[in-house]
Amino acid sequence: MSRSELDKDDQGEPIQGALTPKTAQSVSLSDVTARNATDFTYRMIRVYSTQNCFIKLGDSTVEATVTDHYLPTGAIEYFARKEHTRIAGILPSGTGTLYISEMG
């Protein structure tokens, strides 16, 4: 998006537009890898986990392990999904939920 396409503030300066939440998904997490059920359709995702977990982006066969990317409890992270259509998560122990919002 060029500078001329952005909204402008009272002084005429461009304002970077915020992303809008689109499709919401969730994944029940445990010590066994799990992934979201539906392919992503928007270019960016926001993720949040109720427990410390490990995540991995990939396709419909992606599996997470406890050596993948660490996502601490309560952290909100944004990812450009590029060619990835799914996300998998796993906990070292216990249960939790990974919340996913596609952003557009």
pLDDT at 70 over 90: yes
Cut 0.75: pTM above it: yes
Task: Kindly list the domain boundaries of the chain, sorted by start residue.
Answer: 31-103
Separation between Cα atoms, residue 60 and residue 84, nearest integer Å:
9
What confidence tier does 9 reach under pLDDT thresholds 50, 70, 90?
confident
User: Which residues are CB-neighbours of 22 under 8 A, at least 6 positions away?
Assistant: 41, 42, 101, 102, 103, 104
Counted residue by residue, the chain has a size of 104
Separation between Cα atoms, residue 35 and residue 17, nearest integer Å:
30
Classified as helix, coil or strand, 35 is strand
Classified as helix, coil or strand, 12 is coil
Instruction: Yes or no: say if 10 and 44 are a contact pair by the CB < 8 Å rule.
Output: no
pLDDT at 5 over 90: no
